[in-house]
Each structure stands twice: as structure tokens, then as C-alpha cells.
């Protein structure tokens, strides 16, 4: 670029680009007088001609205007216009402006030239060109409207402050949005901390520009804060810290200098002290594409499967309804027959008692009210007996181990069935209490002498004279006390109160939570005592064999009492010794305990834990995270409620600060001598059966864990790994000795896919050792591990672009992931579950896959639907199991 005129005074500057290549660019000319443009006399090649831009400026007194632009593109015109209508003191200010524009043009020309040289036909380019998106959602032509509307709401005196920029464009990270604002403003020469609507429109158009070159340049501008076309190591540190902050990756922020040095080592091999925009592009385009790992045959199968899975809507509503009904029956037939049997028994008992009292003399006084009350009482007796069976843990665990019973009875739904029966109890109470209090007793009080005559054998010769007579009697006060206690237990068992989901006043909130649920549920002891008394002192039944309440309750109560005695006896001698305690990020307490003698369990099962230092009565269930082959028992507890918070506090007092290189914030290993800390006393009860223990029935496993829900699945992974080692050792022994032992049952599982989704980077510390052990010992690739961190923006988002680059570099060099700190490379955002099922279905046609999920309830529906959908439309069958507590 050159500026000349007829005066003699001139100045010029020439800069050299990377690699010693000079870029045409001199400034010359006077500060006043008529402006005349002349050509350079040196020879240039055609390539130089394309890079050469000529701008003619008219400099008069204290103003500058653009007269002509030859060469360049619209972006060049924007840069040149920055010199217009800006007063400048002759000399230094104009020189600075001309130099700044020259640098911008030179950098733009250099970067465009570099882009043309890059090969974007490689497999990695297609993926990279989809990256560096500043707005996560797809942008349409009408998306400016909501931004404009928010501008009108947030603007102050017609301008949008920088502090409100992130809210206006819909970007969550305000710090990242602030740096983006600065980069866009620098490019346009805006020095103010607020922008007009027109300027915001320009910002928005550049942010949403689908051109990869534009997105890359914008990202580069964010890093290049002094606009010199080069990124120094200090600037790299700043952008790493910014990206880590935007993605809530605190551990990366602590190692910014190390990671900045790694990037400079990779992108600046000549030790120039800076990198340029084409270096970043080269790193992006060299990123491996996932599709590169698929063979051509796999691609065809994947496409065919995708076409097969496209939902088709049945036009005939009757056929559509019948198909849904058929699918529902196929998926829930076990639950259907159990519920149908239960409802049938309740209905039969109600009908039997209803008809029986319809033919008695009392019916002529009290009418259908007494029949309804007695019918409801009969169902109530049945359900009060039945409700104890689903919570007999040892019995359910024993029955679950019987494959034939498990094939027809849904033992996994024992807690859900307990809740259904509780609802049946509530209905029975309503049918019994309401007719008695509102109909039977008033009718009896107002009966005539002739109507009361048949009632004397039940209520005495003297007719009750007021309502209080019924209430103060044994039948009355026992019933009302039971009603109150059952209402308290039922209400506090609801998830709104048990999990403290309601925003209640502090005084009332103290009366809710898990502790309130636990203690109120144990009021059942009083309820059952009153229930037996109430059932014995009946108004209308005087013969002992007609008082059938004890008959219903005898066997279930005896079974439950034996259960509690077994638990008390077993937990009494199962006092465990604490081997290790660690408090990890995310408020997770890990306890490693000695294994009691004779304690045998299966991966996926759980135990109940009691800590007398917190509460001598409360027992809480936790999944076992150790494998059966380990010489210890471990559990991981997330402190979410009052009991777990107190447990964490008790152990934190006994722990010592972590040493360098140790995971966990606090830990207490077995120390020697007098340094051994005094640990709280723990009792364990179990193990008890859970859905996850059925993993041994499947050759292929798909394990999905959300957050702390990964605990039972970690035990399964360790067990699979241990069996891999044992089988390898057995095969080696067979080869050496020449004989094979048939005593040990062969391990069924041949392949396992593990997907762990967590919100926080610190969560990966929980099972860091297990992850590394699997990657080191699983030489045959039996276990496929996938970690997902949802706090990081999805791959392709500009806010996580540098994290992605850094992750690839660090993993390639050191074999360790920068997010998880393990050998397993972490994915960002949430998994595409349909693609996960598709991946497994392609790998295992004509096989049955066991899908085991443990975590928040919100994902249950999606995984169940995908399991059903793929089972119906592919040759792979997916059996879905979810964890319950």
C-alpha cells in the first residue's frame, strides 16, 4: 500500500512477515496540498499484484479522507474507512493510524494467502470447518429479531453496554463474551465500552458468519489483543485461562503456564516467540475425524441403519393405537400381570365383603355405607400385610437369584410395587373411614327404636347418645391415631418432602428431608400394633374367627420380624475396619473398609451403612464400588442430605491433608504407630440384590452412569477386568500344564461399553485409578470407556476450541487427558444417545445387549425408548435395567 503526493516530505515503513518474507507496504507523502497518486516503479509478479492494495488518501490540515481503493475486498474498505473523519495532529497520530491499518491489511493478506495453501480436502477438514462456532444453536435468517428485541430492553441511551453484551446475544459465559466484544471492537476501531444497534448488527453478522475463515479470524483476534497479527505465549496463557474459566475447568487454570508452553512448542518450532493465524488453522485441520475409523462397509451399514430407524407414522389411527398397545404389552408384561393379579384380589375381597354385609341386618340401618366401609377394610387388611413383602430385602435378594422366578416376576420393581400398595392402602383407608364417620355413625344416632333393635347385640341395649361415644371407644381412638400416623408417614415419603424439593420456611423445612422420612416410616411399628387392636375390638363382629386381621398379618409380620433380626445379628458382627478415607471434589466421600469374614457379594449389589457417631438408628444404602475379587469393600457417598453431610464432617475430622500427588482433598490411610487416627465406628448390613447384578447374564454390556450413579457400574467394570485377568492366567496355565479345569463357571461377558456423564471436572478424581487400571490391563479392548464432561461446551464451539486443541496435543504427547487426568480421553457436552445405541447395534448384530443405567431419573425415559426402538427395528436386542433405591 502506498500514499504519495507532490510534496517532498515522506516517511515509510516496511515489515517482514514470518519466515523472512517481506510484504509490500510503504507509506510516503506530505501532510497537505493536492493529493496525487503514482505507481511503484519496481517489478512485481502476478502473485504480488494480487496481494498489492493501493489506497489513495487526501490529507488536508487535520482531516483525512479516502479517495480511492484499488485491489482488496470489502474488508479492506472497512479497514481503510477507519482513517476517515478522524482528527489527527500532524505527525505521530497519523503515522500511528497508517501503520495500524498497514498491519491489519498485511495480516489479512498474509492469512488469506495461507488459507489458500492449506489442504482442506482431508478427512479432518470437514470436521474442523464445522468448528469455532460462537453461538451454539443453528442460526437462521430470523435470529436477529430476538437479539434486536433484547437490545431495545437492555440499551442505555440508545447504546448497549459491554456488560450486557453476553445477555443480548444469548451467550452464557459473560467473561468470554467480554473478550469477544473487545476483539470485534478492536477490528472496527471502536474504543467505547458501549455500541449502537447498527454496530451490534455488524457484530452479530460476524459472529454468526458461517465462513470458517471468518470464524478463525475472529477467534484469532480474541487472542491477539495488541492487533499485531501475532500471538505471544502470554496471550496464549490468557486465552487458555479464559477458555478454562468459561468451561469451569479449574485444574486447567492451575496449569496454564505448562499448557501454554506445550502449544508454543507445537506451533512455534522455530522459537520465534509467536504464532500466526495459519498455525491455528493447521492444528484444526489436522484433528482426526471420528469417521476415519469406520470402514466403508461400516459406513454403508450405518447409513442403512439410520434409514431404518427413521420414525414412520401410521396413517390409520386404529392401527397406530394397536401398535402402541402391542409395544406396551411387550415391554411391560411382567408388571401388567402382577398389577392385574393384585387389583383382581383387591376387587374380589371388596366385592365379597360388600355383598356379605348387604345381606346383614345392619344394612337396613346404615345402608350401602357400611358395605363400602367393610369392603374397604378387607382390602386394607390385605394390603397392610402385602406391603411388608417388597421391603424384605434378604427374601427379595434370595428370590432374585432364582433365574426362573426372575423371568416372570419383576424383582427390580420391588420398591415401586411397595409404593403402589401404599396407594392402595390410602384408598382402603378412605373407603373405610369416610363412610363410617360421615354416614354410618350419624345414621345409627338418628335411627328409630325399631331400627335400632337389631343393633343392640353390637352396641348395647342403650343406644349411643352422641358422636363422642364412637370416638372415645377403643375402635374409635385407635382408628383415628392410625389415620394421623399413616398420613404423616405417607406425606413425608413423597419426593417433594423427602428430597426437600419444596421451598418451605426454615422452621418447617427442618421437619422434612430424609431423616423425617426415615423416622416417620418407622412409626409403622405403632401403626401395626394399633391395627391389630382395632381389628380385634370390632363393633359388628364378636366371634374370634370372624376377626381376621391377625390372620392376614401373621405370616408377613413374622417374615419381616425375622428379616430385622437377621439384619441386627449380621450387622452386629460386621463391624468393619476403615482402611482409607478420601474426600473428593464434588463432596464425595470414599470409604475403603476391611472385608468381614464370609462376606460375599456380586458386583452391582449394595450394602446398608450405619455410623453410630451420626445416628445409632439410621441405615442408608450405598452401591459397592469394589469388585468381588478385591480384598476390601469400598463405597462412594455423595453428600447431598443431612445424614451424609454429617457423616462427611465426622470423617473429615479424622482425616489429614492430602500429600502431593495424592487424589482427594482429605484422606486417612492406615498409618503406623501412634499416628493412626481414631476412625468413627461403622456397621454394614448386606449385601442386597439390585438390577445391576444381572450383568453376568449378557455377553455385551452397555453401562450408563450419571454422576455418582456410576458407582455400581464401576464395580462391574472392575469385575469384568478381574475376570479378563483370571481367564488369561487360566489359559496360560492350561497351556503349560496341558489340562483344563471345569470347576469354575465361565464368565459370560465378552464386551462392555461404559458411558460416564458428569457435570464437574473434579468428579473424574473419584474413579481415576480404576480408569487407568483398565486402560493399562485391557490389552484386548474388551472394555470401551467414554467420559463426558457437561460443563465443557460441545466440540465445535469457539469457547471450547482451545481446550480441544490442547487436549489433542497433550494426549498425543503424554497419553493423559487434560480434563479427567486419566488415560481416557474426555468428550465434551452430553452424548448423543441415539448414536451410542447405533454404535453398539452395528458392532453386535443378532446379539442381546444388557443396558444398565444408574443416575438421575430424567434420562430413564430416553434410554428405555431407545432400547425399545432399536430392539424392534434392528437385529440387536437391548434389555434395559435401571437402578432403584
| Range with the poorest average pLDDT among 124-133, 192-201, 374-383 | 124-133
Q: What mean pLDDT do residues 542-557 have?
A: 84
Angle CA 532–534–537, to nearest 5? 110
* pLDDT score of 24: 37
With bands split at pLDDT 50, 70 and 90, how would you rate the model's confidence at 312? low
Mean pLDDT, residues 706-733 taken together: 80
Position of cell 347418645?
465
H or E stretch covering 594: strand 588-594
Asked if residue 218 has pLDDT above 90, the reply is no
Q: What is the mean pLDDT of residues 379-392?
A: 93
Q: Which of 662, 633, 664, 660 is nearest to 651 (CA)?
A: 664
Neighbours of 693 (CB within 10 A): 24
Integer-rounded Cα Rg, in Å, for the chain is 38
CB 377 within 8 A of CB 424: no
Cross-strand pairs, 610 = 683
Query: What is the percent of the chain with per-residue pLDDT over 90, rounded to a whole number?
Result: 14
Residue 755 pLDDT > 90, yes or no?
yes
272-286, 345-359, 360-374, 605-619 — which one is most confidently predicted on average?
Answer: 345-359
Q: How far apart are CA 289 and CA 394, in angstroms?
A: 51
CB-CB contact of 690 with 853 (8 Å) = no
Beta carbons within 8 Å of 510's beta carbon, 6+ residues apart: none
Residue 657 three-state SS: strand
Residue linked to cell 502431593: 660
Q: What is the pLDDT of residue 419?
A: 92
**pLDDT for residue 477 is more than 60:** yes
Alpha-carbon gap, residue 28 to 1, rounded angstroms: 10
pLDDT value of position 207: 83
Q: What is the chain's percent helix, strand, coil content, to nearest 5?
A: 55, 15, 35
pLDDT for the residue 469: 80
Supply the pLDDT for residue 270: 82
Q: How far apart are CA 679 and CA 697, in angstroms?
A: 39
Per-residue pLDDT at 114: 42
At 28 the pLDDT is 35
pLDDT of residue 179: 85
The predicted pLDDT at position 389 comes to: 92
pLDDT at position 98 is 56
Give yes or no for a contact between 428 and 383, defined as CB atoms under 8 angstroms apart. Answer: yes
When pLDDT is averaged across residues 58-65 and rounded to a whole number, the result is 55
- Residue 497's φ and ψ, nearest 5 degrees, are -95, -40
Do residues 452 and 365 make contact, with C-beta atoms less than 8 angstroms apart?
Answer: yes
pLDDT at residue 313 above 90? no
Of 68-72, 269-273, 592-596, the least confident: 68-72
Q: Would you say 350 and 376 are in contact if contact means Cβ atoms under 8 Å apart? A: yes
Confidence of residue 745 (pLDDT cuts 50, 70, 90): low
DSSP labels, 674-732: GGPPPPPPEEEEEEE--GGGGGGG-SEEEEEEEGGGGHHHHHHHHHHHHHHHHHHHHHH
Take residue 627 and report the three cell numbers written for it. 469388585
Q: pLDDT band for 224, please (50, 70, 90 cuts).
A: confident
Is pLDDT at 260 greater than 80 in this prediction? yes
Across all residues in the chain, what is the average pLDDT?
76
Report which of residues 281 and 201 the model is more confident about. Answer: 201
For residue 409, is it left (φ>0), alpha (ψ between -120 and 50) or beta?
beta
Question: Of 416, 333, 391, whose CA–CA distance to 860 is shortest?
Answer: 416
- pLDDT at 112 > cutoff 60: no
Q: How many residues does the chain have?
A: 885
- Write out the three cell numbers for 590: 470414599
Higher pLDDT, 392 or 323: 392
Report, as an integer, the average pLDDT of 2-25. 38
To the nearest 10 degrees (0 to 180), the angle between helices 798-814 and 256-267 is 80
Q: What whole-number distance in Å separates Cα of residue 66 and Cα of residue 197?
A: 25
At which residue does the C-alpha cell 398420613 appear? 487
Element (H, E) at 852: strand 848-854
Residue 64 has pLDDT above 60, yes or no: no
How high is the pLDDT of residue 704?
Answer: 93
User: Among 879, 821, 819, 602, which residue's Cα sits nearest to residue 718?
Assistant: 602
Residue, of 49 and 657, whose pLDDT is higher = 657
Phi, psi angle pair for 477, to nearest 5°: -70, -30
689-698 confidence digits (pLDDT tens)? 888 888 888 8
pLDDT-based confidence at residue 729 (cuts at 50, 70, 90): low
Whether residue 82 has pLDDT greater than 70 = no
List, for residues 622-645, the tens digit of each pLDDT value.
Answer: 999 988 888 889 999 888 777 888
Mean pLDDT, range 340-364, rounded to an integer: 91
| Per-residue pLDDT at 426 | 93
Over 70: is that where the pLDDT of 424 sits? yes
Q: Which of 49-58, 460-469, 528-537 has the highest mean pLDDT?
A: 528-537
State yes or no: pLDDT of 352 exceeds 90: yes
Peptide bond into 323 cis (omega under 30): no
Residue 95 banded pLDDT, cuts 50, 70, 90 = low
Comparing 821 with 30, which gets the higher pLDDT?
821
Nearest C-alpha neighbor of 111 from the set 216, 4, 1: 216
Q: What is the pLDDT of residue 69?
A: 61
656 pLDDT above the threshold of 80: no
State the pLDDT confidence band at 781, using cuts at 50, 70 and 90: confident
SS3 category, 306: helix
Amino acid at each position: 500500500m502506498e500514499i504519495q503526493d507532490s510534496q517532498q516530505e515522506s516517511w515509510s515503513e516496511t515489515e517482514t512477515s514470518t519466515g523472512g518474507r517481506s510484504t509490500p507496504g510503504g507509506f510516503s507523502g506530505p501532510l497537505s496540498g493536492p493529493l496525487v497518486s503514482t505507481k511503484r516503479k519496481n517489478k512485481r509478479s502476478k502473485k504480488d499484484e494480487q496481494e498489492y492494495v493501493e489506497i489513495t488518501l487526501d490529507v488536508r490540515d487535520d482531516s483525512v479522507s479516502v479517495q480511492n481503493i484499488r485491489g482488496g475486498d470489502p474488508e479492506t474498505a472497512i479497514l481503510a474507512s477507519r482513517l476517515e473523519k478522524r482528527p489527527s495532529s500532524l505527525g505521530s497520530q497519523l503515522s500511528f493510524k497508517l501503520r495500524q491499518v498497514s498491519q491489519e491489511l498485511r495480516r489479512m493478506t498474509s492469512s488469506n494467502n495461507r488459507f489458500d495453501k492449506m489442504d482442506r480436502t482431508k478427512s479432518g477438514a470437514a470436521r474442523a470447518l464445522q468448528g469455532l462456532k460462537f453461538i451454539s444453536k443453528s442460526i437462521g435468517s430470523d435470529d436477529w429479531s430476538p437479539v434486536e428485541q433484547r437490545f431495545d430492553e437492555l440499551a442505555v441511551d440508545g447504546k448497549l453496554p459491554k456488560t450486557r453484551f453476553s445477555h443480548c446475544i444469548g451467550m452464557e459465559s459473560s467473561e468470554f463474551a467480554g473478550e469477544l466484544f473487545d476483539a470485534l471492537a478492536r477490528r472496527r476501531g471502536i474504543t467505547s465500552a458501549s455500541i449502537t444497534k447498527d454496530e451490534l448488527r455488524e457484530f452479530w453478522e460476524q459472529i454468526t458468519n458461517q465462513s470458517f475463515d471468518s470464524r478463525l479470524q475472529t477467534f484469532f483476534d480474541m487472542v491477539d489483543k495488541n492487533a499485531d497479527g501475532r500471538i505471544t505465549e502470554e496471550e496464549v496463557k490468557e486465552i487458555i485461562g479464559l477458555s478454562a474459566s468459561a468451561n469451569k475447568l479449574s485444574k486447567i487454570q492451575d496449569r496454564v503456564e505448562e499448557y501454554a508452553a506445550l502449544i508454543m512448542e507445537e506451533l512455534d518450532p522455530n522459537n520465534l516467540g509467536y504464532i500466526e493465524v495459519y498455525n491455528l488453522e493447521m492444528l484444526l485441520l489436522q484433528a482426526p475425524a471420528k469417521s476415519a475409523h469406520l470402514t466403508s462397509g461400516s459406513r454403508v451399514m450405518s447409513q442403512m441403519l439410520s434409514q431404518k430407524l427413521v420414525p414412520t407414522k401410521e396413517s390409520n389411527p386404529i392401527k397406530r393405537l394397536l401398535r402402541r398397545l402391542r409395544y406396551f404389552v411387550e415391554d411391560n408384561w411382567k408388571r401388567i400381570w402382577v398389577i392385574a393379579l393384585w387389583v383382581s384380589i383387591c376387587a374380589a375381597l371388596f366385592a365379597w365383603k360388600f355383598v356379605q354385609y348387604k345381606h346383614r341386618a345392619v344394612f337396613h340401618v346404615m345402608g350401602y355405607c357400611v358395605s363400602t366401609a367393610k369392603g374397604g377394610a378387607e382390602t386394607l387388611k390385605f394390603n397392610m400385610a402385602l406391603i411388608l413383602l417388597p421391603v424384605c430385602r434378604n427374601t427379595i435378594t434370595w428370590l432374585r437369584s432364582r433365574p426362573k422366578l426372575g423371568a416372570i416376576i419383576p424383582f427390580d420393581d420391588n420398591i415401586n410395587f411397595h409404593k403402589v400398595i401404599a396407594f392402595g392402602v390410602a384408598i382402603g383407608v378412605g373407603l373405610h373411614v369416610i363412610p363410617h364417620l360421615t354416614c354410618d355413625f350419624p345414621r345409627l344416632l338418628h335411627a328409630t327404636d325399631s331400627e335400632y333393635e337389631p343393633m343392640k347385640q353390637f352396641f348395647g341395649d342403650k343406644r349411643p347418645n352422641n358422636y363422642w361415644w364412637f370416638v372415645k371407644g377403643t375402635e374409635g381412638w385407635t382408628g383415628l391415631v392410625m389415620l394421623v400416623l399413616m398420613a404423616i408417614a405417607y406425606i413425608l415419603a413423597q419426593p417433594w418432602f423427602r428430597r426437600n424439593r419444596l421451598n418451605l420456611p426454615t422452621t418447617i423445612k427442618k421437619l422434612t428431608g430424609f431423616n423425617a422420612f426415615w423416622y416417620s416410616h418407622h412409626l409403622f411399628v405403632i401403626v401395626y400394633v394399633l391395627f391389630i387392636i382395632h381389628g380385634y375390638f370390632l363393633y359388628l363382629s364378636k366371634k374370634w374367627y370372624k376377626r381376621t386381621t391377625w390372620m392376614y398379618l401373621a405370616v408377613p409380620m413374622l417374615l419381616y420380624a425375622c428379616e430385622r433380626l437377621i439384619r441386627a445379628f449380621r450387622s452386629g458382627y460386621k463391624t468393619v475396619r476403615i482402611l482409607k478415607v478420601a474426600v473428593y471434589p464434588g463432596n464425595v466421600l470414599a470409604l475403603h473398609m476391611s472385608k468381614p469374614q464370609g462376606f460375599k457379594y456380586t458386583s452391582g449389589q449394595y450394602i446398608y451403612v450405619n455410623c453410630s457417631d451420626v445416628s445409632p438408628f439410621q441405615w442408608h444404602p450405598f452401591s459397592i464400588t469394589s469388585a468381588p475379587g478385591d480384598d476390601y469393600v469400598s463405597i462412594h457417598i455423595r453428600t447431598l442430605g443431612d445424614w451424609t453431610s454429617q457423616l462427611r464432617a465426622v470423617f473429615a475430622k479424622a482425616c489429614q491433608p492430602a500429600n502431593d500427588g495424592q487424589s482427594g482433598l482429605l484422606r486417612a490411610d492406615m498409618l503406623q504407630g501412634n499416628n493412626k487416627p481414631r476412625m468413627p465406628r461403622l456397621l454394614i448390613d448386606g449385601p442386597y440384590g439390585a438390577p445391576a447384578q444381572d450383568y453376568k447374564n449378557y455377553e455385551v454390556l452397555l453401562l450408563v452412569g450419571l454422576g455418582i450413579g456410576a458407582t455400581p457400574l464401576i464395580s462391574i467394570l472392575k469385575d469384568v477386568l478381574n475376570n479378563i485377568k483370571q481367564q488369561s492366567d487360566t489359559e496360560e496355565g492350561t497351556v503349560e500344564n496341558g489340562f483344563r479345569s471345569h470347576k469354575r463357571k465361565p464368565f459370560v461377558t465378552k464386551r462392555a461399553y461404559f458411558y460416564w456423564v458428569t457435570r464437574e471436572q473434579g468428579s473424574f478424581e473419584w474413579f481415576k485409578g480404576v480408569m487407568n487400571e483398565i486402560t493399562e490391563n485391557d490389552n484386548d479392548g474388551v472394555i470401551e470407556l467414554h467420559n463426558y464432561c457437561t460443563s465443557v461446551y460441545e466440540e465445535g464451539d469457539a469457547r471450547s476450541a482451545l481446550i480441544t486443541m490442547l487436549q489433542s496435543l497433550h494426549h498425543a504427547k503424554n497419553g493423559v487427558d487434560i480434563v479427567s487426568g486419566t488415560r481416557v480421553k474426555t468428550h465434551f457436552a452430553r452424548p448423543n444417545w441415539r448414536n451410542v445405541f447405533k454404535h453398539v447395534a452395528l458392532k453386535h448384530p443378532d446379539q442381546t445387549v444388557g443396558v444398565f443405567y444408574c443416575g438421575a431419573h430424567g434420562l430413564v425415559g430416553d434410554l428405555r425408548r431407545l432400547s425399545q426402538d432399536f430392539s424392534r427395528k434392528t437385529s440387536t436386542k437391548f434389555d434395559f435395567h435401571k437402578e432403584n433405591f
